[in-house]
């Protein structure tokens, strides 16, 4: 080792407490078998318990090089680029094919997460205040200390640092990642934002705690529970759900991202079934919402095993991924009703008709005896059709409309959100959605009947004039969500067909569907009470800001190797 690369005396003094603790722990465990997996494990002792685990091989590497680059300089290294997002300033490798990289597509994701966690913090504080007012004066109740957040796959720590700086009453943030390079970059970015004095020594201390560990091991250890757990992997979050629903506090918030849309969207149904326990439908018109409901069902099942239930706050599809915010509550009685919010989809093989049936139903008596669900009368499809079965999926609400209303009010009060216009369009669309599962795709209906696609407002007007409700879907501009029965939807489409020239070619299934006479009187007049989104100043479906707006290649390093091992038998997504 060159003298210029040799660590300073201060560097060894920094690790001296760790060496002392190592000796103590080894003396206490000298009777352990030499073949024990703990023989090379060293502990950094903290206030109450041994928290940070350093493997001997990694500790030895640390002693052979200068202090982490993250702690050595306040300036960006020559091979790094500096990026400002929200309130935070970050350094990233100029080479994007690294273990840590920056993806501008995810800015909206981080902005939305910051907004939703800020609202959750306000709800949690209000719950504490309500308990304080209702308690007996003899009851002792600790003061409200703020929220604890775990960023389980934090990468560079950008999201975590933004949470800490932009959200009120954040007591503690754990920045965790499996990659050593990511942990080093998180240290550098903490220093870049002048937050060195906020670094915590343990999971129990207030401030920012940075550690390198497997996210599942951290959550299963139950060393600390969190009010908010953020899961944002590259790919599927399915393998982390079981640990997350146990680690989050009662009434806490789970923020989950899944980018494996090839599986959730039905392109690889065998992969989806293996990961989420659900069989999707390939090439369905409602695949965007189906993906969200598959993820919610997986979270719901994981929570139910431990006597917990979910309460969806916001469930959205954005760009190339789905993102859900759900509260997890402990309630064994609510778990008993889970079959009412879980069900199956029956898709006709000859036309776009589909039906949804819950897995269970109540017996109708005062004891709420639960029974197996019943299939609906499926008479709107072509006679003699076969059916595909998909599911189980979540059939309950996707959003909490009161929270969305408050989010729209708070959106423009948070100065560091750079995607406010896009978020306003997204949240507005979600606030208008009906709480009914799935939707029809208007171009699919028209294509099936070999007719030009009708104006969306005409079809919505006909549904409203027939006495039913209708809305769109935030991820699909051509979606028709309605509580109208299937036969009403088809009667309206058939009535539109009568106003159009007959097709030159049509399938036998289409001819059978067109031959059925409408059972209702269809009125396409647009009522004044029906809002027209195109005349609104809010852009619900903005264009991508630049070409190739999508995911970056997988990061290099340990996480990529583990992901490859887990998916080596799965189709390429």
Residues of the chain with pLDDT under 50: 1-78, 568-573
Q: How far apart are the C-alpha atoms of 468 and 483, rounded to whole Å?
A: 6
Tens digits of per-residue pLDDT, 532-554?
887 888 888 877 776 666 665 55
**H/E run at residue 456:** helix 456-465
The pLDDT of residue 28 is 43
Distances (CA, A) of 74 to 10, 80, 190, 329, 522: 18, 13, 10, 43, 69
391 Ramachandran zone, left/alpha/beta (phi>0; psi -120 to 50):
left
b (16+ CB within 10 A) / e for 313-352: bbbbbbbebbbbbbbbeeeeebbebbbbbbbbbbbbebbb
Q: Is 194 exposed, middle or buried (0-12, 13-18, 19+ CB in 10 A)?
A: exposed
- pLDDT reported for residue 39: 32
What's residue 238's pLDDT?
98
Check residue 518 and give its pLDDT. 81
Question: Distance between CA atoms of 239 and 53, rounded to whole angstroms?
Answer: 23
- Name all domains of the chain by residue range, CATH numbers in brackets: 3-67 (no CATH), 440-543 (3.30.56.70)
Cα–Cα distance for residue pair 164/208, rounded to 1 Å: 8
Could you give phi then psi for residue 360, rounded to 5 degrees? -140, 170
Place of tokens 């431990």: 306
The burial class, CB within 10 Å (0-12 / 13-18 / 19+), for 237 is buried
Question: Quick one: pLDDT at residue 138?
Answer: 57
Using CB atoms within 10 Å of the CB of residue 18, give its burial: 0 to 12 exposed, 13 to 18 middle, 19+ buried.
middle
How high is the pLDDT of residue 76? 47
**What pLDDT score was predicted for residue 457?**
96
Cβ distance 110 to 255 under 8 Å? no
Helix (H, G, I), strand (E, B) or coil at 482: strand
State the pLDDT at residue 301.
Answer: 97
> Which helix (DSSP H) or strand (DSSP E) does residue 67 occupy?
none
Q: For residue 380, what pLDDT is reported?
A: 77
Closest CA relative to residue 318, chosen from 124, 110, 488: 110
Query: What's residue 502's pLDDT?
Result: 83
What are the backbone dihedrals phi and psi of residue 42, each rounded to the nearest 5 degrees, phi first? Answer: -125, 145
- pTM of the complete model: 0.82
Closest C-alpha among 556, 474, 549 to residue 234: 556
DSSP state of 199: B
DSSP 94: S
The predicted structure's pLDDT at residue 505:
85
pLDDT, residue 384, reads 82
Q: Is the dihedral of CA 279, 281, 282, 285 positive or negative?
A: negative
Nearest by Cα to 38 from 26, 27, 21, 47 = 26
């Amino acid at each position: 080792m060159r003298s210029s690369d040799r660590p300073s005396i201060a560097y060894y003094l920094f690790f001296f407490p760790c060496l002392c603790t190592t000796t103590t722990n080894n003396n206490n465990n000298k009777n352990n078998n030499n073949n024990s997996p703990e023989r090379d494990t060293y502990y950094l002792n903290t206030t109450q318990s041994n928290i940070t685990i350093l493997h001997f091989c990694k500790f030895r590497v640390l002693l052979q090089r200068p202090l982490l680059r993250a702690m050595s300089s306040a300036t960006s290294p020559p091979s790094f680029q500096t990026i400002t997002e929200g309130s935070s300033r970050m350094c990233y490798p100029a080479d994007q094919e690294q273990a840590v990289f920056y993806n501008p597509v995810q800015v909206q994701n981080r902005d939305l997460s910051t907004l939703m966690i800020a609202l959750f913090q306000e709800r949690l504080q209000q719950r504490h205040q309500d308990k304080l007012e209702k308690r007996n004066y003899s009851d002792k109740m600790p003061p409200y200390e703020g929220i604890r957040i775990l960023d389980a796959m934090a990468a560079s720590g950008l999201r975590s640092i933004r949470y800490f700086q932009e959200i009120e009453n954040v007591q503690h943030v754990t920045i965790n990642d499996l990659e050593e390079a990511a942990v080093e970059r998180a240290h550098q970015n903490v220093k870049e934002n002048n937050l060195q004095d906020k670094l915590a020594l343990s999971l129990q201390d207030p401030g920012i705690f940075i550690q390198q560990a497997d996210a599942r091991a951290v959550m299963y250890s139950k060393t600390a529970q969190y009010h908010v757990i953020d899961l944002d992997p590259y790919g599927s979050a399915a393998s982390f759900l079981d640990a997350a629903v146990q680690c989050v506090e009662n009434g806490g918030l789970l923020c989950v991202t899944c980018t494996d849309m090839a599986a959730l969207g039905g392109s690889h149904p065998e992969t989806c079934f293996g990961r989420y326990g659900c069989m999707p439908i390939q090439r369905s018109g409602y695949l965007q919402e189906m993906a969200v409901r598959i993820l919610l069902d997986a979270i719901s099942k994981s929570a139910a095993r431990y006597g917990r239930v979910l309460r969806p706050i916001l469930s959205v599809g954005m760009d190339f991924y789905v993102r859900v915010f759900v509260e997890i509550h402990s309630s064994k009685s609510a778990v008993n009703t889970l079959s009412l919010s879980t069900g199956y989809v029956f898709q006709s093989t000859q036309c776009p008709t589909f039906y949804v049936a819950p897995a269970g139903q109540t017996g109708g008596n005062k004891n709420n005896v639960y029974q197996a669900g019943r299939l609906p009368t499926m008479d709107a499809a072509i006679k003699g059709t076969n059916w595909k079965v998909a599911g189980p999926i979540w059939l309950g609400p996707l959003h909490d409309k009161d929270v969305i209303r408050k989010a729209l009010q708070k959106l423009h009060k948070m100065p560091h959100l750079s995607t406010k216009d896009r978020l306003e369009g997204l949240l507005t669309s979600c606030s208008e959605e009906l709480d009914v599962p799935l939707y029809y795709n208007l171009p699919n209906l028209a294509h099936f009947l070999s007719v030009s696609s009708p104006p969306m407002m005409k079809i919505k007007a006909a549904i409203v004039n027939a006495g039913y409700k209708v809305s769109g879907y935030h991820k699909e501009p051509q979606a028709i969500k309605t509580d109208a029965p299937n036969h009403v939807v088809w009667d309206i489409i058939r009535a539109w067909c009568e106003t159009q020239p007959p097709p030159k070619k049509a399938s036998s299934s289409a001819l059978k569907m067109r031959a059925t006479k409408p059972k209702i009187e269809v009125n396409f007049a647009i009522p004044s009470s029906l809002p027209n989104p195109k005349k609104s100043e809010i852009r619900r479906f903005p264009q991508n800001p630049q070409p190739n707006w999508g995911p970056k290649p997988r990061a290099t390093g340990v996480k990529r190797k583990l992901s490859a091992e887990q998916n080596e038998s799965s189709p390429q997504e």
